[in-house]
C-alpha cells in the first residue's frame, strides 16, 4: 500500500507553493490589512488562471475533475501562505454544495463560472449562537427570509448557498435589494465575516436532499489540510528564528526546552497530516469511513495548528506579538479556523457518534 502522494500530486503542490510564494508574501498580507482589503483579488485571478479553482469541479463543467486529495494539496499550500482568498467558501463549500445538491441546470449555470473565478460564492449555515448548522431560514414560493451570521467572505460573494429549514439548500444571488449584508468585527482581518439578512429575497431551491453531512465532512477534511499547511509554516518559522536568535552566547534552538517544544509541534503536525490524507482517501474511496475520518482529521488539525501558532509566538518572545513580525497572521487564522464549521466539542461528538465504517465492519 502506498501512503505517499503521487508524483502528479507533488507537482501540483509545488506549483501552488511557487505561485503563493511569488504573489502572497507576508508584506503583501500587511498591505492588504493596512488598506482594509477584504481579499487578494489578483491572487484569486492567478489561481483561476492556473486551474486551481476548478481542481475538484467536474470536467464537463469547466473544471479539472480531480479528487479530494488533490484539492487537499492545494489547501495545504494555501494554509501555509495564510492566503487571503475565499477558496474554502467558494470552492470547498459552495461549489461542492452545488455539485452535490444542485440541479443539472444549476450546475451548468454556476460551476463553470466558479471554476473560472468569474463568480465568488459562499456557504451560509450559521444563525448566531445556537446550533452550528441552523435551519431557521425559510424558503417559500421562491422567496427566502431569515438571517445568517457569521458568513465568511459574504462581502465579496456574488452567490450564496444557504442552509434552510428541513436541512435543504437554496441558491441566492446576493446583489439584490432584498439582501442586506453587514460586516462584522473579525479577529482574522484577512477572512472577513458578515451578517446577511434575507428579506423575501429571490432564491432557487436545490433538489438534492440529505447532502449536508457529506458536504460538511468533506469540508472538514479540507480544513484539516489547511491547518496542517499553516502549522508546518509556523514550525518552520519558529525553527528558523530559534536557529538565528543568539542568547547567552548560543543559538536559542540549542536549548533543550526549545527543542522539545518544536519536536512536540512536529509530531502533532505529522499526525494531523496522516489523518488528513486518510480523510481525503475516504472522501474518494470509502464513504462509509468518511464521517469518522473527517472528524479525526478535523480534531487533529485543530490541535496541531493551535499548538504550532502558540508555540511560534512563545519561541519568538515579545517581538512575535508585533505587527511587524509574521506570527500573528497564523494565530489569527488559527483562532478563526478553530470554530469554523464547528468547534472541537462539536467534532468530538461527531467522532464518538460516527457509524463504524468498512474497516470496523470487516474486523
Question: Residue 356: its pLDDT value, please?
Answer: 57
Strand order through the sheet with 193-202: 138-140, 143-152, 193-202, 179-183
Please report whether residue 262 resides in a domain: yes
Please, what is the average pLDDT of the chain? 94
Please report whether residue 260 resides in a domain: yes
Same domain? For 234 and 199 the reply is: no
pLDDT in tens, 14-54: 999 999 999 999 999 999 999 999 999 999 999 999 999 99
Same domain? For 146 and 100 the reply is: no
Mean pLDDT within 326-345: 95
**Does the pLDDT of residue 333 top 50, yes or no?**
yes
pLDDT in tens, 165-174: 999 999 999 9
Same domain? For 218 and 355 the reply is: yes
What does DSSP say about strands 159-163 and 121-124: parallel, antiparallel, or unpaired? parallel
Please report whether residue 41 resides in a domain: yes
**Does the pLDDT of residue 2 top 80, yes or no?**
no
Please report whether residue 305 resides in a domain: yes
Q: What percent of the chain has pLDDT over 90?
A: 91
Query: Are 316 and 241 contacting, i.e. CB atoms less than 8 angstroms apart?
Result: yes
With H, G, I as helix, E, B as strand and everything else as coil, classify residue 170: strand
Same domain? For 151 and 223 the reply is: no
Same domain? For 280 and 141 the reply is: no
Instruction: Band the pLDDT of 359: cuts 50, 70, 90.
Output: very low
Same domain? For 16 and 110 the reply is: yes
**Closest to 75 measured CA to CA, from 240, 295, 279:** 279
Domain harbouring 36, CATH code: 1.10.540.10
**Closest to 328 measured CA to CA, from 309, 311, 314, 315:** 309
Instruction: Band the pLDDT of 360: cuts 50, 70, 90.
Output: very low
pLDDT in tens, 95-131: 999 999 999 999 999 999 999 999 999 999 999 998 9
Question: Residue 226: its pLDDT value, please?
Answer: 98
Same domain? For 240 and 350 the reply is: yes
Instruction: Band the pLDDT of 4: cuts 50, 70, 90.
Output: confident
Same domain? For 155 and 108 the reply is: no
Distance CA 131, CA 212 (A): 14
Please report whether residue 2 resides in a domain: no
Please report whether residue 99 resides in a domain: yes
Strand runs labelled E in 74-213 = 121-124, 138-140, 143-152, 159-163, 169-173, 179-183, 193-202, 204-205
pLDDT in tens, 218-275: 999 999 999 999 999 999 999 999 999 988 889 998 899 999 999 999 999 999 999 9
Please report whether residue 1 resides in a domain: no
Question: Residue 355: its pLDDT value, please?
Answer: 62
What does DSSP say about strands 169-173 and 159-163: parallel, antiparallel, or unpaired? antiparallel
Same domain? For 199 and 230 the reply is: no
**Does the pLDDT of residue 357 top 80, yes or no?**
no
Instruction: Band the pLDDT of 133: cuts 50, 70, 90.
Output: very high
Same domain? For 292 and 171 the reply is: no
**Does the pLDDT of residue 153 top 70, yes or no?**
yes
pLDDT in tens, 303-329: 999 999 999 999 999 999 999 999 999
pLDDT in tens, 174-200: 999 999 999 999 899 999 999 999 999
Question: Residue 3: its pLDDT value, please?
Answer: 67
Q: Which 3-state string (H, E, C) describes the chain?
A: CCCCCCHHHHHHHHHHHHHHHHHCCHHHHHHHHHCCCCCCHHHHHHHHHCCCCCCCCCHHHCCCCCCHHHHHHHHHHHHHHCCCCCHHHHHHHHHHHHHHHCCHHHHHHHHHHHHHCCCCEEEECCECCCCCCCCCCEEECCEEEEEEEEEECCCCCCEEEEECHHHCEEEEECCCCCEEEEECCCCCCCCCEEEEEEEEEECEECCCCCCHHHHHHHHHHHHHHHHHHHHHHHHHHHHHHHHHCEECCEEHHHCHHHHHHHHHHHHHHHHHHHHHHHHHHHHHHCHHHHHHHHHHHHHHHHHHHHHHHHHHHHHHHHHHHCCCCCHHHHHHHHHHHCCCCCCHHHHHHHHHHCCCCHHHHHC
**Closest to 83 measured CA to CA, from 184, 225, 218, 230:** 230
Please report whether residue 302 resides in a domain: yes
Q: What percent of the chain has pLDDT over 70?
A: 97
Question: Residue 363: its pLDDT value, please?
Answer: 35
- Where in the sequence is the domain holding 216, given as residue range(s)? 212-362
- The total of structural domains in the chain comes to 3
Last residue of a domain, one of 82, 116, 150: 116
Last residue of a domain, one of 81, 100, 116: 116
Same domain? For 194 and 151 the reply is: yes
Domain harbouring 190, CATH code: 2.40.110.10
Query: Are 190 and 153 contacting, i.e. CB atoms less than 8 angstroms apart?
Result: no
**Does the pLDDT of residue 358 top 60, yes or no?**
no
Question: Residue 242: its pLDDT value, please?
Answer: 95
Domain harbouring 314, CATH code: 1.20.140.10
Find residue 201's DSSP bridge partners: 144
Same domain? For 187 and 283 the reply is: no
Last residue of a domain, one of 66, 92, 116: 116
pTM of the model as a whole: 0.94
Amino acid at each position: 500500500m502506498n501512503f505517499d502522494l503521487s508524483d502528479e500530486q507533488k507537482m501540483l503542490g509545488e506549483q501552488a507553493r511557487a505561485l503563493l510564494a511569488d504573489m502572497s508574501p507576508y508584506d503583501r498580507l500587511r498591505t492588504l490589512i493596512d488598506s482594509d482589503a477584504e481579499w487578494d483579488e489578483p491572487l484569486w485571478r492567478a489561481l483561476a488562471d492556473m486551474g486551481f479553482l476548478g481542481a475538484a469541479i467536474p470536467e464537463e463543467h469547466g473544471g479539472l475533475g480531480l479528487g479530494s486529495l488533490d484539492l487537499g494539496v492545494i489547501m495545504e499550500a494555501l494554509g501555509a501562505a495564510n492566503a487571503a482568498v475565499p477558496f474554502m467558501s467558494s470552492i470547498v463549500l459552495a461549489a461542492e454544495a452545488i455539485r452535490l445538491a444542485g440541479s443539472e441546470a444549476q450546475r451548468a449555470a454556476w460551476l463553470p463560472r466558479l471554476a473560472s473565478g468569474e463568480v465568488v460564492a459562499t456557504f451560509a449555515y450559521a444563525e448566531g449562537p445556537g446550533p452550528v448548522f441552523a435551519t431557521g431560514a425559510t424558503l417559500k414560493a421562491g422567496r427566502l427570509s431569515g438571517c445568517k451570521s457569521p458568513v465568511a467572505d459574504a462581502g465579496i460573494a456574488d452567490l450564496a448557498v444557504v442552509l434552510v429549514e428541513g436541512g435543504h439548500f437554496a441558491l441566492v444571488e446576493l446583489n439584490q435589494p432584498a439582501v442586506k449584508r453587514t460586516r462584522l468585527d473579525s479577529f482574522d482581518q484577512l477572512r472577513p465575516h458578515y451578517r446577511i439578512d434575507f428579506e423575501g429575497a429571490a432564491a432557487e431551491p436545490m433538489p438534492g436532499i440529505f447532502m449536508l453531512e457529506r458536504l460538511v465532512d468533506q469540508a472538514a477534511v479540507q480544513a484539516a489540510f489547511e491547518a496542517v499547511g499553516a502549522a508546518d509554516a509556523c514550525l518552520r518559522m519558529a525553527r528558523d528564528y530559534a536557529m538565528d536568535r543568539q542568547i547567552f552566547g548560543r543559538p536559542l534552538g540549542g536549548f533543550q526546552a526549545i527543542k522539545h517544544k518544536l519536536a512536540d509541534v512536529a509530531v502533532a503536525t505529522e499526525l494531523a497530516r496522516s489523518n488528513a490524507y486518510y480523510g481525503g482517501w475516504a472522501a474518494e474511496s470509502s464513504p462509509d469511513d468518511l464521517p469518522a475520518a473527517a472528524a479525526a482529521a478535523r480534531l487533529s488539525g485543530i490541535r496541531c495548528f493551535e499548538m504550532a501558532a502558540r508555540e511560534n509566538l512563545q519561541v519568538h518572545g515579545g517581538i512575535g506579538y508585533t505587527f511587524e513580525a509574521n506570527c500573528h497572521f497564523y494565530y489569527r487564522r488559527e483562532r478563526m479556523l478553530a470554530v469554523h464549521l464547528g468547534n472541537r466539542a462539536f467534532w468530538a461528538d461527531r467522532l464518538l457518534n460516527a457509524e463504524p465504517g468498512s474497516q470496523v465492519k470487516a474486523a
